[in-house]
Structure 1
Amino acid sequence: MRIGLYLPSLEGGGIERLYLGLARQWIERGHLVELALNERRGELLGDVPHGVRIVDLGVRRQAASVPALIRYLRGSRPNVVMAGHDHNNIMLCAAGFARTGRTRIVASQHNTLSANDTRGAKFGPVPLLYRALFGQADAIVAVSSGVADDLAVSCHLPRERIDVIHNGIVPDDLAARMVAPVDPALYPTGVPTIVAMGRMVEQKDFATLLTAFARVRQLRPARLVILGDGPLRPALEAQAQDLGITGDVAMPGFVDTPFAHLARASLFVLSSRHEGFGNVVAEALACGTPVVSTDCKHGPAEILEGSRYGILVPVADPAAMASAIGDALDRSWDREELRQRGASFSEAAGAARYLELFRRIAQRGVSEQTRKEVA
């Protein structure tokens, strides 16, 4: 099977890492995999698995990608192509009107659509365009049941048209990645260290985490390591200064060994206002690391099965988060149970579920009936 994955670029991000892991699994199973990129750039270019073909569409503006996608679909003739961002879904489905042969199109939704600023120019048209164009999709995939429900309501799509496939993001070589070297100064012996990870943007709400950590720090020794970078870094550094916790907070920036940090953490905290899935929650569990997470829409509660595998707290509530962090640090966790839960989100399991979907839709075309279901 020839599988195409359509992305803007390979700049670091959860979707990009997910797709590289899926590509690795499919290559190992004997399939041909192509990465169709608007631009061949990004820090993850060096992580592309051997054997994966990169197709540079050569477009700088998303709106200009449709002609390039049509040329790709007609020239390469993949059996299936899957997009992984809102605007990529739209462009791929638009290009689907001009496809030839038996290429199947899969649109995948990774975020809570209703959480986007639908009043803005960037996301405002998305629900309408989804509704107009998703008739060209042979399958629609959401990464969590909550995202699927939200997508159906936001775009007036039949819920039964949407498949749910949880992200498979735990790699086969997890054990080796967990022992990769990290800066030992980040994890001093005898001091519990809390790790958070993500782009420094409002969605991740590290401001609430810093306020909660300041409360924790008043009661016990602890350290906080926030991995990642982004436009809010200066504001977060200033907040840590104002809270008087600068000496106990580290922000080392983007790291290419996240599992090594998660394995050394006493606790992982997700402070997000919303998530489509929450990859790093599953990654932390796979390392046997306890988790405190906001009960944000929509992924974390599904991963943690409520409070079975972690502690959920309200969004933007520093007092509740501080209390939960203290409880988590004091609790005796069954680390092996956490690892087993995390292992259920393996790359191999996710790749197998997608292949099952691809084979199913390969048995049929884009019929008029399918289009009427969405139109």
Structure 2
Amino acid sequence: MNGIKPKLLIFINTLQSGGAERVVSLLLEHLRSDFEIHLALYTNIVDYKIPPEVKILDLNQPLNQNRFLRFLKIPGQSYKVYSYCKKNNINISVAFLYRPCYINALMKSLWRYKGKVIMCERTHQTTMQQSHSAIYRMFTKFMVRFSYKRADLVLANSYAMQTDLIENFRIKTPVKVIYNPIDLGFIRSHIDEKPAFVFEKDTFYFINVGGFRKEKNHLLLLQAFFIMKNLPCKLLIVGGGIMEEGLKQKVSDFGMRDKVVFCGWDNNPFMYVNRSNCFVLSSDVEGFPNVLIEALACGKPVISTDCSSGPRELLAPSTDLHHRAINNYEIGEYGILTPVNDVIALAAAMKRMYEDAALRKQFEEKAKGRAEQFDVDEIKQYFHVAFTAL
């Protein structure tokens, strides 16, 4: 292109702490030498660093508002994004998460945007919708089909998610898989920083990192840890969210205030993970959980619910990806998988990890090598090709 960088718009709700947000922050940093990048934010909340040359379009919308009102605003917001792209000659628009995807779709269908539209799905939609009403599921299914039909390309971050979109939503647009990247360089340079929390000798530390949202099922983790509370173990939880007070009340109800530590949000959770003994993910549904890869990058053994989607592909990649752990935990090549929402199985897996030093060592020896396969320097080439090959 005669030295002229292609112009790229990346659109996401916020850059608040989260998996998709961390991926976008990495793409901003690692693709800026190849693209002129513009960033559209539904709500201007930023927890990650934005390179100074990245231009920002702020839609200035409240993140949480009535769903009906939010839907009514989408056509107007799509026109704002369309006008911005037209004014700045942007020919590639990439949306992360469902709200930006809907807006991108209307930009294409209502305003006849001529550029390439790419949708990045980060959630296993079928599983996510199961907890909602029939009307909500029907509406969401329609919107997913409507949006993705207007995309030039859909990017999923797991093969389970790709299968879900094709089989359950009948998506005809090409759906390609690109796994989430992690920044190994950042992790390695921050892992030895000293946290405020003092780790005690002769105490085994389980740790969880993530936002306090319903689908993360922190209650399951607390219930499983309750079964083990008389062992010399503690549970660290790094994160925050609207459910925090309720979870703290559960800890108090369970009589575990001296055993469970809420560390709050921290842009460097790796210093906590590095000093812990085992990482535990208790989610009901995921896309492709960055926190598991990051825990592996810290050299830690991991336990995860065998939820849709991601954990099995990451921890037991040679198994049937349609299989799910049932009734008992399963030892994979890179970690332990447990049935979703099974307190007894999760507690048994945690107890096994606590007692079995040989198994922990086996996982520790493989952990960093597995994580290296997801380093941003390895993954970014696939995004580059996807953004320019259409």
Would the TM-score normalized by the shorter structure come out above 0.5?
yes
Indicate conservation of the 8 Å contact 2:11/2:39, yes or no: yes
What is the CA deviation profile of residues 22-61 of structure 1, one whole-angstrom value per residue up to 9, with x for unaligned ones? 111112x34221111123x2141x5112322222234455
Aligned to 1:73: 85
Aligned to 2:217: 205
Question: Which one of the candidate residues 223, 247, 250 is aligned to 2:234?
Answer: 223
Q: How many residues align?
A: 354
Counterpart secondary structure, 1:224:
strand
1:123 Cα offset (Å): 5.8
Aligned to 1:26: 31
What is the rounded CA distance, in whole Å, between the counterparts of 1:151 and 1:211 in structure 2?
33
What is the rounded CA distance, in whole Å, between the counterparts of 1:86 and 1:243 in structure 2?
37
Indicate conservation of the 8 Å contact 1:169/1:279, yes or no: yes
Aligned to 1:355: 384
Counterpart secondary structure, 2:337:
strand
What is the rounded CA distance, in whole Å, between the counterparts of 1:125 and 1:70 in structure 2?
24
Aligned to 2:294: 283
Amino acid at match of 2:20: I
Indicate conservation of the 8 Å contact 1:110/1:143, yes or no: yes
Amino acid at match of 2:58: D
Aligned to 2:18: 13
Counterpart secondary structure, 1:297:
coil
Amino acid at match of 2:384: L
Aligned to 1:137: 151
Indicate conservation of the 8 Å contact 2:184/2:372, yes or no: no
What is the rounded CA distance, in whole Å, between the counterparts of 2:61 and 2:80 in structure 1?
8
What is the rounded CA distance, in whole Å, between the counterparts of 2:36 and 2:136 in structure 1?
34
Aligned to 1:372: none
> In the superposition, relative to structure 1, how do residues 188 and 120 fare at CA in structure 2: closer, same or farther (>3 Å)?
farther
1:121 Cα offset (Å): 6.5
What is the rounded CA distance, in whole Å, between the counterparts of 1:264 and 1:339 in structure 2?
15
Amino acid at match of 1:130: V
What is the rounded CA distance, in whole Å, between the counterparts of 1:284 and 1:145 in structure 2?
21
Q: Pairwise mapping of residues 1-375 of structure 1 onto structure 2 (< 5 A)?
A: 1-27=6-32, 29-39=33-43, 41-44=44-47, 47-60=49-62, 61=70, 63=74, 64-97=76-109, 98-100=111-113, 103-114=115-126, 115-116=128-129, 117=131, 119=133, 124-158=138-172, 161-185=174-198, 187-218=199-230, 220-305=231-316, 307-329=332-354, 330-332=356-358, 333-334=361-362, 335-361=364-390
Task: State the percentage of identical aligned residues.
Answer: 25
Aligned to 2:322: none
What is the CA deviation profile of residues 104-141 of structure 1, one whole-angstrom value per residue up to 9, with x for unaligned ones? 11001100111225537766422212323323211111
What is the rounded CA distance, in whole Å, between the counterparts of 2:159 and 2:117 in structure 1?
21
Bigger Cα displacement from structure 2, 194-203 vs 115-124? 115-124
Structure 1 segments unaligned to the other structure (5+ residues): 362-375
What is the CA deviation profile of residues 199-222 of structure 1, one whole-angstrom value per residue up to 9, with x for unaligned ones? 21221111111111121223x201
Considering fraction of residues, name the structure with more helix.
1
What TM-score do the two structures reach when normalised by structure 2? 0.85
1:340 Cα offset (Å): 1.0
What is the rounded CA distance, in whole Å, between the counterparts of 2:41 and 2:136 in structure 1?
20
RMSD, matched Cα: 2.0
What is the rounded CA distance, in whole Å, between the counterparts of 2:369 and 2:296 in structure 1?
8
Bigger Cα displacement from structure 2, 273-282 vs 62-71? 62-71
Counterpart secondary structure, 2:228:
helix
